[in-house]
Structure 1
């Protein structure tokens, strides 16, 4: 399993709107791609406003290529990102998931 991590910051006033938009764009498109296993969105307050982290989970790197294109290290951005005054990372990180244990 591969985890794909992307981060962005936006002003606090756009937090809820951007998270909803993120579901409508990146999460929706990811979930429609074969090999997608799931996603998590994290939020934390920072001096610049709010940092949003999206982690998507994939069966293999080839599945990410189907979503992101040939250069999977470049973030996939969307046309309305600017509306949220987004400061996106242009680079994403990929990790091999070594352990995945969930407890409730």
Structure 2
């Protein structure tokens, strides 16, 4: 299993709207791809800036390619991101999941 982590920053004023956008647009996009196991969006306030992490779990590199394209580490953006983000980080991070326990 692969964990894919994306980071983005927006202004605090736009943070609520961006969180709603991620929930309504990005999460359904992730979940529509065969091989996506889970999605979580994390938020942290830092003064006038708000950080977001999108943490997704995938069954394979091929599943990630089906979502993001051939360049596995290239960040995927939506046209609407230009209305929110302070910059466009070019890459995401991938980690091999070596241990995980679901809450029951």
Q: Are 1:34 and 2:31 an aligned pair?
A: no
* Cα distance in 1 for residues equivalent to 2:71 and 2:3: 16
Please state whether the residue corresponding to 1:63 is helix, strand or coil: helix
Shift of 1:47: 4.3
Shift of 1:16: 1.2
After superposition, residues 1-104 of structure 1 pair within 5 angstroms as: 1-47=1-47, 49-103=49-103
Please state whether the residue corresponding to 1:3 is helix, strand or coil: strand
- Where does the alignment leave 5 or more consecutive residues of structure 1 unmatched? none
Q: Structure 1 residues 86-95 or 67-76, which shifts more?
A: 86-95
Q: TM-score, normalised by structure 2?
A: 0.90
Q: Does the 8 Å CA contact 1:5/1:53 hold for their aligned counterparts? A: yes
* Cα distance in 1 for residues equivalent to 2:30 and 2:103: 25
- Where does the alignment leave 5 or more consecutive residues of structure 2 unmatched? none
Q: TM-score, normalised by structure 1?
A: 0.90
